[in-house]
Amino acid sequence: MKIALFVIFFLLLGVFFIVSENNLALKNSDARVEFGKLYFSWIGRVFENGGSLVGYVVKLDWLPNFVGNESE
């Protein structure tokens, strides 16, 4: 439940930032179309960056490096 609330909060935060940064008045149909383009572009970049982050984490060497004699 907490994860769902976090996702909803994150998506709504994105809505508010997009509307405020681009001075969109959502009462206007042209502004709603522009908002839709910007919002789905933002969502696409979120997933793209998330995929890059996961790929980077997977490639990391998570095992410790042993220094010295490993037979001890």
Dump pLDDT digits (tens) for 6-55.
999 999 999 999 999 999 998 989 999 999 999 999 999 999 999 999 99
* The pLDDT value given to residue 14: 93
Can you tell me the mean pLDDT for 64-70? 70
Cβ contacts of residue 46 below 8 Å, gap of 6+? 14
The larger pLDDT score, comparing residue 34 to residue 66, is at: 34
Structure pTM?
A: 0.71
- The pLDDT of residue 71: 57
CA angle 50, 1, 35 (to 5 degrees): 50
CB 42 within 8 A of CB 66: no
Distance of CA 42 to the CA centre of its chain: 8
Q: What is the pLDDT of residue 61?
A: 84
